[in-house]
Amino acid sequence: MVKIVTVIGARPQFIKAAVLSRLMHLEPYSADFKEFIIHTGQHYDQNMSAVFFEEMAIPAPQINLGIGGKSHGAMTGEMLIAIEKILMDIKPDLVLVYGDTDSTLAGALAAGKLLIPIAHVEAGLRSHVMAMPEEQNRILTDHLASWLLAPTATAAENLAKENVHGRIHITGDIMYDAHLFYRPRAQMPPCAREEPYFLATVHRAENTDNKANLENIFAGLSQIKERVILPLHPRTRQKCQTFGLNIPPNIKVLEPVGYLEMLGLELNAKAIITDSGGVQKEAYFCQKPCITLRSETEWVETVTSGWNTLAATNGEAIAEAAKNLKIPQNYPPLYGDGHCGEKILKILG
Protein backbone atom coordinates (compact mmCIF):
# COMPACT_ATOMS: atom_id res chain seq x y z
CA MET A 1 0.00 0.00 0.00
CA VAL A 2 1.27 3.45 -0.94
CA LYS A 3 1.18 5.89 1.98
CA ILE A 4 0.60 9.43 0.68
CA VAL A 5 0.76 12.73 2.51
CA THR A 6 -1.23 15.40 0.67
CA VAL A 7 -0.42 19.04 1.41
CA ILE A 8 -3.10 21.62 0.58
CA GLY A 9 -3.99 25.09 1.79
CA ALA A 10 -5.85 27.18 -0.80
CA ARG A 11 -9.16 27.11 -2.69
CA PRO A 12 -7.87 25.71 -6.01
CA GLN A 13 -6.05 22.95 -4.16
CA PHE A 14 -9.21 21.87 -2.35
CA ILE A 15 -10.92 21.45 -5.73
CA LYS A 16 -8.05 19.43 -7.17
CA ALA A 17 -7.59 17.31 -4.04
CA ALA A 18 -11.29 16.44 -4.05
CA VAL A 19 -10.78 14.37 -7.19
CA LEU A 20 -7.87 12.22 -5.99
CA SER A 21 -9.06 11.96 -2.38
CA ARG A 22 -12.46 10.70 -3.55
CA LEU A 23 -10.90 8.15 -5.88
CA MET A 24 -8.50 6.89 -3.20
CA HIS A 25 -11.51 5.97 -1.06
CA LEU A 26 -13.16 3.99 -3.86
CA GLU A 27 -12.46 0.58 -5.37
CA PRO A 28 -10.11 -0.42 -6.83
CA TYR A 29 -7.83 2.30 -5.43
CA SER A 30 -8.76 2.04 -1.74
CA ALA A 31 -6.74 -1.15 -1.38
CA ASP A 32 -3.64 0.47 -2.85
CA PHE A 33 -3.50 3.93 -1.26
CA LYS A 34 -3.67 5.42 2.22
CA GLU A 35 -3.87 9.22 2.36
CA PHE A 36 -3.01 11.62 5.18
CA ILE A 37 -4.13 15.23 4.51
CA ILE A 38 -2.31 18.27 5.89
CA HIS A 39 -4.20 21.57 5.59
CA THR A 40 -1.73 24.40 6.07
CA GLY A 41 -4.46 26.94 6.82
CA GLN A 42 -3.31 29.31 4.05
CA HIS A 43 -6.97 30.06 3.30
CA TYR A 44 -8.53 30.43 6.71
CA ASP A 45 -11.89 32.12 5.97
CA GLN A 46 -14.89 29.77 6.40
CA ASN A 47 -16.02 30.25 2.82
CA MET A 48 -12.47 30.01 1.52
CA SER A 49 -11.74 26.73 3.25
CA ALA A 50 -14.13 24.72 5.44
CA VAL A 51 -17.12 25.02 3.11
CA PHE A 52 -15.11 23.38 0.33
CA PHE A 53 -14.39 20.30 2.45
CA GLU A 54 -18.06 20.08 3.42
CA GLU A 55 -19.75 20.47 0.05
CA MET A 56 -17.15 18.56 -1.99
CA ALA A 57 -17.03 15.69 0.55
CA ILE A 58 -13.26 15.90 0.90
CA PRO A 59 -12.06 13.82 3.85
CA ALA A 60 -11.37 16.06 6.82
CA PRO A 61 -7.66 16.93 7.13
CA GLN A 62 -5.93 15.02 9.89
CA ILE A 63 -4.02 18.21 10.73
CA ASN A 64 -4.78 21.90 10.17
CA LEU A 65 -1.66 23.97 10.79
CA GLY A 66 -3.57 27.27 10.90
CA ILE A 67 -0.77 29.18 9.16
CA GLY A 68 -2.26 31.98 7.08
CA GLY A 69 -2.53 35.72 6.64
CA LYS A 70 1.23 36.35 6.82
CA SER A 71 3.97 37.36 4.39
CA HIS A 72 5.15 34.80 1.84
CA GLY A 73 8.41 34.19 3.70
CA ALA A 74 6.79 33.86 7.10
CA MET A 75 4.10 31.47 5.87
CA THR A 76 6.48 29.31 3.84
CA GLY A 77 8.98 29.10 6.69
CA GLU A 78 6.42 28.20 9.35
CA MET A 79 4.77 25.65 7.07
CA LEU A 80 8.13 24.07 6.26
CA ILE A 81 9.00 23.60 9.93
CA ALA A 82 5.60 22.13 10.78
CA ILE A 83 5.33 19.85 7.74
CA GLU A 84 8.86 18.49 8.25
CA LYS A 85 7.97 17.34 11.77
CA ILE A 86 4.83 15.59 10.51
CA LEU A 87 6.66 13.84 7.68
CA MET A 88 9.34 12.61 10.05
CA ASP A 89 6.62 11.07 12.20
CA ILE A 90 4.45 9.58 9.43
CA LYS A 91 7.24 8.48 7.07
CA PRO A 92 5.13 8.48 3.90
CA ASP A 93 6.09 6.85 0.60
CA LEU A 94 5.49 10.11 -1.23
CA VAL A 95 4.23 13.67 -0.76
CA LEU A 96 1.55 14.98 -3.09
CA VAL A 97 1.39 18.73 -3.79
CA TYR A 98 -0.82 20.78 -6.09
CA GLY A 99 -0.36 23.97 -8.03
CA ASP A 100 1.81 26.92 -7.08
CA THR A 101 1.03 28.32 -3.64
CA ASP A 102 3.27 28.79 -0.62
CA SER A 103 1.74 25.55 0.70
CA THR A 104 2.93 23.77 -2.44
CA LEU A 105 6.50 24.95 -2.04
CA ALA A 106 6.61 24.29 1.71
CA GLY A 107 5.39 20.72 1.20
CA ALA A 108 7.89 20.12 -1.58
CA LEU A 109 10.83 21.57 0.38
CA ALA A 110 10.00 19.58 3.49
CA ALA A 111 9.77 16.35 1.50
CA GLY A 112 12.85 17.12 -0.56
CA LYS A 113 15.06 17.74 2.48
CA LEU A 114 13.95 14.38 3.88
CA LEU A 115 14.50 12.62 0.54
CA ILE A 116 10.82 11.71 0.27
CA PRO A 117 9.63 11.49 -3.37
CA ILE A 118 7.32 14.30 -4.50
CA ALA A 119 4.42 14.20 -6.96
CA HIS A 120 3.48 17.62 -8.37
CA VAL A 121 0.02 17.93 -9.88
CA GLU A 122 -0.12 20.82 -12.41
CA ALA A 123 3.59 20.68 -13.16
CA GLY A 124 5.14 22.70 -15.97
CA LEU A 125 2.97 25.79 -15.97
CA ARG A 126 4.91 28.96 -16.77
CA SER A 127 3.94 32.63 -16.95
CA HIS A 128 7.60 33.55 -17.51
CA VAL A 129 7.29 36.35 -14.95
CA MET A 130 9.68 35.57 -12.10
CA ALA A 131 8.36 38.50 -10.05
CA MET A 132 5.24 36.41 -9.39
CA PRO A 133 5.51 34.36 -6.18
CA GLU A 134 3.50 31.64 -7.90
CA GLU A 135 6.07 31.36 -10.71
CA GLN A 136 8.87 30.96 -8.19
CA ASN A 137 6.88 28.33 -6.29
CA ARG A 138 6.04 26.24 -9.34
CA ILE A 139 9.56 26.28 -10.79
CA LEU A 140 11.21 25.28 -7.50
CA THR A 141 8.62 22.55 -6.90
CA ASP A 142 9.08 21.13 -10.40
CA HIS A 143 12.82 20.83 -9.92
CA LEU A 144 12.29 18.93 -6.67
CA ALA A 145 9.58 16.56 -7.91
CA SER A 146 9.99 12.93 -8.93
CA TRP A 147 6.64 12.77 -10.73
CA LEU A 148 5.80 15.82 -12.87
CA LEU A 149 2.10 15.54 -13.67
CA ALA A 150 1.61 18.04 -16.50
CA PRO A 151 -1.91 19.08 -17.53
CA THR A 152 -1.01 19.92 -21.16
CA ALA A 153 1.59 19.25 -23.84
CA THR A 154 2.76 22.87 -23.48
CA ALA A 155 3.46 22.30 -19.79
CA ALA A 156 5.39 19.13 -20.60
CA GLU A 157 7.46 21.03 -23.19
CA ASN A 158 8.32 23.67 -20.58
CA LEU A 159 9.61 20.97 -18.26
CA ALA A 160 11.67 19.29 -20.95
CA LYS A 161 13.33 22.60 -21.82
CA GLU A 162 14.33 23.03 -18.15
CA ASN A 163 15.90 19.56 -17.96
CA VAL A 164 14.01 18.58 -14.82
CA HIS A 165 15.20 15.36 -13.23
CA GLY A 166 11.77 13.83 -12.56
CA ARG A 167 9.55 11.82 -14.91
CA ILE A 168 7.18 13.92 -17.01
CA HIS A 169 3.63 12.64 -17.56
CA ILE A 170 0.87 14.41 -19.52
CA THR A 171 -2.28 13.62 -17.54
CA GLY A 172 -4.83 16.26 -18.54
CA ASP A 173 -6.15 18.80 -16.06
CA ILE A 174 -7.49 17.57 -12.76
CA MET A 175 -9.81 20.58 -12.38
CA TYR A 176 -11.64 19.39 -15.48
CA ASP A 177 -12.36 16.11 -13.69
CA ALA A 178 -13.78 18.10 -10.77
CA HIS A 179 -15.86 20.29 -13.08
CA LEU A 180 -17.48 17.31 -14.79
CA PHE A 181 -18.20 15.52 -11.50
CA TYR A 182 -19.66 18.49 -9.60
CA ARG A 183 -21.38 20.34 -12.45
CA PRO A 184 -24.74 18.56 -11.94
CA ARG A 185 -24.66 19.76 -8.30
CA ALA A 186 -24.01 23.43 -9.12
CA GLN A 187 -25.95 25.94 -7.03
CA MET A 188 -27.07 29.36 -8.24
CA PRO A 189 -27.50 32.21 -5.72
CA PRO A 190 -30.79 34.15 -6.06
CA CYS A 191 -28.99 37.26 -7.33
CA ALA A 192 -27.80 35.31 -10.36
CA ARG A 193 -31.33 34.47 -11.48
CA GLU A 194 -32.10 38.02 -12.56
CA GLU A 195 -30.87 39.90 -15.65
CA PRO A 196 -27.60 38.98 -17.45
CA TYR A 197 -24.40 39.59 -15.54
CA PHE A 198 -20.63 39.42 -15.74
CA LEU A 199 -18.90 37.45 -13.00
CA ALA A 200 -15.68 38.97 -11.62
CA THR A 201 -13.02 37.84 -9.16
CA VAL A 202 -10.04 39.89 -7.98
CA HIS A 203 -7.55 38.52 -5.48
CA ARG A 204 -3.95 38.50 -6.74
CA ALA A 205 -1.52 40.50 -4.60
CA GLU A 206 -0.14 42.46 -7.55
CA ASN A 207 -3.66 43.78 -8.16
CA THR A 208 -5.09 44.09 -4.66
CA ASP A 209 -1.98 45.53 -3.02
CA ASN A 210 -1.49 48.19 -5.68
CA LYS A 211 -3.95 51.08 -5.32
CA ALA A 212 -3.59 52.20 -8.94
CA ASN A 213 -4.19 48.69 -10.29
CA LEU A 214 -7.25 48.20 -8.10
CA GLU A 215 -8.63 51.61 -9.10
CA ASN A 216 -8.11 50.82 -12.78
CA ILE A 217 -9.87 47.47 -12.47
CA PHE A 218 -12.89 49.06 -10.81
CA ALA A 219 -12.86 51.85 -13.41
CA GLY A 220 -13.07 49.23 -16.15
CA LEU A 221 -15.80 47.25 -14.40
CA SER A 222 -17.81 50.46 -13.83
CA GLN A 223 -18.12 50.94 -17.61
CA ILE A 224 -19.83 47.60 -18.18
CA LYS A 225 -23.53 48.13 -18.88
CA GLU A 226 -24.66 44.85 -17.38
CA ARG A 227 -24.44 44.00 -13.71
CA VAL A 228 -21.15 42.68 -12.42
CA ILE A 229 -21.31 40.10 -9.62
CA LEU A 230 -18.18 40.12 -7.46
CA PRO A 231 -17.63 37.52 -4.71
CA LEU A 232 -15.24 39.64 -2.68
CA HIS A 233 -12.02 38.02 -1.50
CA PRO A 234 -11.15 38.98 2.11
CA ARG A 235 -7.85 40.54 1.02
CA THR A 236 -9.56 42.62 -1.66
CA ARG A 237 -12.13 43.88 0.82
CA GLN A 238 -9.42 44.85 3.30
CA LYS A 239 -7.41 46.70 0.64
CA CYS A 240 -10.46 48.62 -0.55
CA GLN A 241 -10.92 49.84 3.01
CA THR A 242 -7.22 50.67 3.38
CA PHE A 243 -7.13 52.64 0.12
CA GLY A 244 -10.54 54.27 0.68
CA LEU A 245 -11.89 52.87 -2.60
CA ASN A 246 -15.62 52.78 -3.27
CA ILE A 247 -16.91 49.86 -5.27
CA PRO A 248 -18.91 51.08 -8.33
CA PRO A 249 -22.71 50.85 -8.04
CA ASN A 250 -23.10 48.43 -10.96
CA ILE A 251 -21.16 45.80 -8.97
CA LYS A 252 -23.11 43.41 -6.77
CA VAL A 253 -20.77 42.34 -3.97
CA LEU A 254 -21.13 38.87 -2.47
CA GLU A 255 -19.35 37.25 0.43
CA PRO A 256 -16.87 34.56 -0.71
CA VAL A 257 -18.79 31.59 -2.09
CA GLY A 258 -18.13 27.87 -2.04
CA TYR A 259 -17.26 25.79 -5.09
CA LEU A 260 -20.81 24.74 -5.98
CA GLU A 261 -22.12 28.31 -5.84
CA MET A 262 -19.14 29.56 -7.81
CA LEU A 263 -19.81 26.90 -10.42
CA GLY A 264 -23.44 28.05 -10.65
CA LEU A 265 -22.34 31.66 -11.05
CA GLU A 266 -19.88 30.70 -13.78
CA LEU A 267 -22.35 28.56 -15.71
CA ASN A 268 -24.94 31.36 -15.84
CA ALA A 269 -22.66 34.35 -16.42
CA LYS A 270 -22.46 36.19 -19.73
CA ALA A 271 -18.68 36.23 -19.35
CA ILE A 272 -16.06 36.00 -16.61
CA ILE A 273 -13.49 38.63 -15.58
CA THR A 274 -10.72 37.39 -13.30
CA ASP A 275 -7.09 37.48 -12.25
CA SER A 276 -7.26 33.86 -11.04
CA GLY A 277 -5.54 31.08 -12.93
CA GLY A 278 -8.08 28.51 -11.83
CA VAL A 279 -11.09 30.63 -12.75
CA GLN A 280 -9.65 31.16 -16.25
CA LYS A 281 -9.86 27.40 -16.72
CA GLU A 282 -13.29 27.17 -15.13
CA ALA A 283 -14.51 29.80 -17.59
CA TYR A 284 -13.23 27.60 -20.41
CA PHE A 285 -14.87 24.49 -18.97
CA CYS A 286 -18.17 26.43 -18.83
CA GLN A 287 -17.62 27.71 -22.40
CA LYS A 288 -17.73 31.32 -21.25
CA PRO A 289 -15.52 34.09 -22.66
CA CYS A 290 -12.91 35.21 -20.15
CA ILE A 291 -11.24 38.58 -19.63
CA THR A 292 -8.07 38.19 -17.59
CA LEU A 293 -6.82 41.01 -15.37
CA ARG A 294 -3.19 40.15 -16.03
CA SER A 295 -0.72 40.86 -18.81
CA GLU A 296 0.25 37.18 -19.02
CA THR A 297 -1.17 33.77 -18.17
CA GLU A 298 0.19 30.29 -17.55
CA TRP A 299 -2.94 28.95 -19.30
CA VAL A 300 -1.79 30.07 -22.74
CA GLU A 301 -4.12 27.67 -24.55
CA THR A 302 -7.18 29.63 -23.46
CA VAL A 303 -5.76 32.72 -25.18
CA THR A 304 -4.58 31.08 -28.40
CA SER A 305 -7.96 29.34 -28.77
CA GLY A 306 -9.73 32.72 -28.58
CA TRP A 307 -11.62 32.10 -25.35
CA ASN A 308 -9.49 34.38 -23.15
CA THR A 309 -8.47 38.03 -23.57
CA LEU A 310 -5.59 39.53 -21.56
CA ALA A 311 -6.64 43.03 -20.50
CA ALA A 312 -4.18 43.51 -17.60
CA THR A 313 -5.33 46.34 -15.30
CA ASN A 314 -6.14 48.74 -18.13
CA GLY A 315 -9.62 50.06 -17.42
CA GLU A 316 -10.33 50.91 -21.05
CA ALA A 317 -9.12 47.51 -22.24
CA ILE A 318 -11.34 45.76 -19.68
CA ALA A 319 -14.39 47.78 -20.76
CA GLU A 320 -13.62 47.30 -24.45
CA ALA A 321 -13.21 43.54 -24.09
CA ALA A 322 -16.53 43.33 -22.22
CA LYS A 323 -18.26 45.39 -24.90
CA ASN A 324 -16.90 43.35 -27.81
CA LEU A 325 -17.32 39.83 -26.48
CA LYS A 326 -16.92 37.09 -29.05
CA ILE A 327 -17.69 33.43 -28.55
CA PRO A 328 -15.29 31.34 -30.67
CA GLN A 329 -16.72 28.76 -33.04
CA ASN A 330 -14.25 26.10 -31.94
CA TYR A 331 -14.00 24.49 -28.52
CA PRO A 332 -10.94 22.20 -28.62
CA PRO A 333 -10.36 19.60 -25.86
CA LEU A 334 -7.44 21.48 -24.30
CA TYR A 335 -7.42 19.86 -20.88
CA GLY A 336 -7.88 16.15 -21.30
CA ASP A 337 -10.76 13.71 -21.20
CA GLY A 338 -11.93 14.05 -17.59
CA HIS A 339 -9.95 11.03 -16.37
CA CYS A 340 -6.87 12.80 -15.06
CA GLY A 341 -7.39 11.41 -11.55
CA GLU A 342 -7.34 7.78 -12.67
CA LYS A 343 -4.22 8.40 -14.76
CA ILE A 344 -2.38 9.98 -11.83
CA LEU A 345 -3.21 7.11 -9.45
CA LYS A 346 -2.07 4.58 -12.07
CA ILE A 347 1.24 6.45 -12.34
CA LEU A 348 1.72 6.71 -8.57
CA GLY A 349 0.64 3.14 -7.86
Q: Which residues are catalytic?
A: 203
Q: What letter would DSSP give residue 335? A: T
Q: How many CA atoms lie within 13 A of 69 on its CB side?
A: 9
Residues pairing with 313 in the sheet: none
Q: Report the alpha-carbon distance of residue 289 to residue 273 in Å, rounded.
A: 9
- Give the Cα separation of 269 and 224 in Å (integer): 14
Residue type, 191: C
Work out the burial of residue 90: count CB atoms within 10 Å of its CB; fewer than 13 is exposed, 13-18 middle, 19 or more buried. middle
49: number of Cβ within 10 Å: 24
Residues 6+ apart with CB under 8 A from 263: 179, 182, 183, 186, 187, 282, 286
Which residues partner with 253 through β-bridges? 230
* Residue 333 phi, psi dihedral angles, 5° rounding: -80, 80
